[in-house]
C-alpha cells in the first residue's frame, strides 16, 4: 500500500515561514561555512555505488523509504555521497532537510557573496509547476542542494533583486519560472542572507586555457517532454548550450566556440541574444565542441567536450540515468536499444578559464 504524504496547511506554512525567516537570517552564513549535510529518503529501491556513476561497482542497496544522510555531491550534483561512503543517483532521493552540501571536486569560496532577499507573502497555495533542482543560491552557478516534485507545496521566504529566483524555507533557492506564483506577493522590508558561490576558485588547469567543468544531458522536462512514473514522454529539442566562464566564475562574452562536425559552425558568446556567456547550436546526430578564440581574438587552447549525441545508443548510461530517462543499467539498455527519443536530446556544456 502506498504511503500517504502529509502536506502542511497554508497557515502552518506561513507559521513555519516566519520562524524559518528569522532562523535563516541568523544561521545561514554559519551553515555555509559548516557545510551542513542534507537528509532525505529514497523514493524507490536503488543500487548504491562505489563512486558517482553507473560504471562504479554496486556496493549495496537502499530500500524505498529508507532515510539517508548526504555529505557530498559530484561536480554536476547528479550523484550524492552518503555518510557510509556509498553513492546514489540524486534523482532517486527526496531531500527532506535543506543545507549546503560540500562538493567533491569544487572548492567553496571562503568569502560568501551577499544576496538581497525580499520577503514574499503567500495569499494562497504556492507550488512547483514541474520537477526542479534546488540551488544553494539564486543562480545555476550555485551547487544543487536538493529537488522538488511537480505540484509540491512550497514555502517562499524571499526573492532576489530582480525576482528571478525564490528562496524557500530552509534556505534553498528555486528559479521563479518553476514556481506557481499566482498567490505570491512581495513584502516591503528586505532581508540579507549570505550564501557561498561554487564557481571559485578556477578549476585546475588540464594544460589548456579553457577547462571543461560541466557536460550535462537535459532531462525530459527541460527538453519539452515529461515523465509519467518510469515512462518518458520525449521532448522535441536538440540544442547544445555552451556557457563560458572566467576564472572567477563570471560569464564571458566575446569568446568564439566551434562545433567539430558538419559545417563546423562558430558562435560567439553573448552575440546571439541568448544571455551573457552563452553560445547555442542546433544538434544534428551529435557534436563535439570547444573554445577556439579568446575575447581578444587570439587562438585559445581548450578541452574538448565529446559525446554530445542525440542518439540514445551514443549516450553514456550514467548520463541517461542522471537525465531521468531510465533508472538502472537494464532499463537504460532497453531505452537505447529501442531508439527511444532518438534525435531529441539536448546538452549543456560549460567551459571555465583555468587558474594561473
Domain identity same for 91 and 191: no
CA angle at 117 for the pair 250 and 96, rounded to the nearest 5°:
90
CATH number of the domain residue 184 falls in: 2.30.30.40
User: How is the chain split among helix, strand and coil, in percent rounded to 5?
Assistant: 15, 35, 50
Residues near 200 by Cβ (< 8 Å), separated by ≥ 6? 107, 109, 247, 248, 249
Q: Is residue 59 part of a domain?
A: yes
- Tell me how far apart the alpha carbons of residues 317 and 74 are, in angstroms, rounded to a whole number: 16
Q: What confidence score (pLDDT) does residue 307 get?
A: 92
Non-local (6+) Cβ contacts of 342 within 8 A are 310, 311, 312
Q: Which of 102, 44, 33, 39 is nearest to 74 (CA)?
A: 102
Biggest distance spanned by C-alpha atoms of the chain? 64
Which CATH number characterizes residue 214's domain? 2.60.40
pLDDT at 191: 40
Grouped pLDDT means (10 residues each) for the chain, 356 residues: 50 50 41 50 80 73 84 72 81 62 34 43 67 76 70 79 76 81 46 43 73 89 80 88 89 95 94 88 92 95 94 92 89 93 93 82
Verify that 86 and 143 share a domain, yes or no: no
C-alpha cell at 19: 520562524
Enumerate long-range contacts of 221-230, CB under 8 Å, 24 or more apart. Answer: 221/130, 221/131, 222/346, 223/344, 223/345, 223/346, 225/341, 225/344, 226/130, 227/131, 227/324, 230/326, 230/327, 230/331
Domain extent for 157: 9-27+108-198
Q: Which DSSP state fits 190?
A: -
Q: CB within 8 A of 85, min separation 6: which ones?
A: none
Query: Residue 204: inside a domain, yes or no?
Result: no
- pLDDT reported for residue 170: 67
Distance CA 316, CA 321 (A): 9
pTM for this model (two decimals): 0.51
For residue 72, being part of any structural domain is answered with: yes
Amino acid at each position: 500500500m502506498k504511503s500517504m504524504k502529509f502536506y502542511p496547511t497554508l497557515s502552518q506554512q506561513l507559521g513555519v515561514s516566519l520562524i524559518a525567516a528569522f532562523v535563516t537570517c541568523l544561521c545561514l552564513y554559519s551553515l555555509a561555512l559548516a557545510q551542513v549535510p542534507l537528509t532525505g529518503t529514497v523514493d524507490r529501491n536503488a543500487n548504491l555505488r562505489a563512486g558517482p556513476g553507473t560504471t562504479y561497482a554496486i556496493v549495496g542497496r537502499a530500500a524505498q523509504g529508507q532515510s539517508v544522510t548526504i555529505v557530498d555531491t559530484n561536480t554536476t550534483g547528479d550523484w550524492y555521497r552518503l555518510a557510509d561512503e556509498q553513492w546514489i543517483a540524486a534523482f532517486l532521493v527526496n531531500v527532506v532537510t535543506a543545507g549546503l552540501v560540500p562538493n567533491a571536486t569544487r572548492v567553496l569560496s571562503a568569502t560568501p557573496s551577499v544576496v538581497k532577499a525580499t520577503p514574499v507573502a503567500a495569499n494562497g497555495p504556492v507550488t512547483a509547476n514541474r520537477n526542479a533542482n534546488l540551488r544553494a543560491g539564486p543562480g545555476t552557478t550555485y551547487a544543487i542542494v536538493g529537488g522538488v516534485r511537480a505540484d509540491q507545496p512550497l514555502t517562499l521566504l524571499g526573492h532576489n533583486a530582480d525576482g528571478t529566483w525564490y528562496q524557500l524555507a530552509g534556505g534553498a533557492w528555486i528559479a521563479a519560472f518553476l514556481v506557481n506564483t499566482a498567490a505570491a506577493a512581495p513584502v516591503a522590508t528586505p532581508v540579507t542572507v549570505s550564501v557561498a558561490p561554487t564557481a571559485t576558485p578556477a578549476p585546475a588547469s588540464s594544460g589548456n586555457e579553457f577547462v571543461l567543468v560541466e557536460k550535462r544531458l537535459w532531462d525530459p522536462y527541460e527538453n519539452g517532454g515529461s515523465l509519467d512514473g518510469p515512462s518518458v514522454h520525449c521532448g522535441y529539442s536538440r540544442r547544445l548550450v555552451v556557457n563560458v566562464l572566467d576564472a572567477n566564475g563570471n560569464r564571458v562574452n566575446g569568446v568564439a566556440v566551434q562545433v567539430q562536425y558538419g559545417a563546423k559552425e562558430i558562435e560567439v558568446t553573448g552575440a546571439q541574444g541568448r544571455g551573457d556567456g552563452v553560445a547555442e547550436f542546433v544538434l544534428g546526430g551529435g557534436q563535439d565542441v570547444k573554445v577556439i578564440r579568446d575575447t581578444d581574438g587570439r587562438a585559445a587552447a581548450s578541452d574538448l567536450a565529446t559525446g554530445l549525441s542525440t542518439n540514445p545508443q551514443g549516450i553514456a548510461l550514467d548520463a541517461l540515468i542522471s537525465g531521468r530517462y531510465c533508472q538502472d543499467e537494464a532499463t537504460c539498455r532497453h531505452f537505447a536499444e529501442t531508439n527511444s527519443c532518438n534525435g531529441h536530446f539536448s546538452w549543456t556544456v560549460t567551459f571555465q578559464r583555468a587558474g594561473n
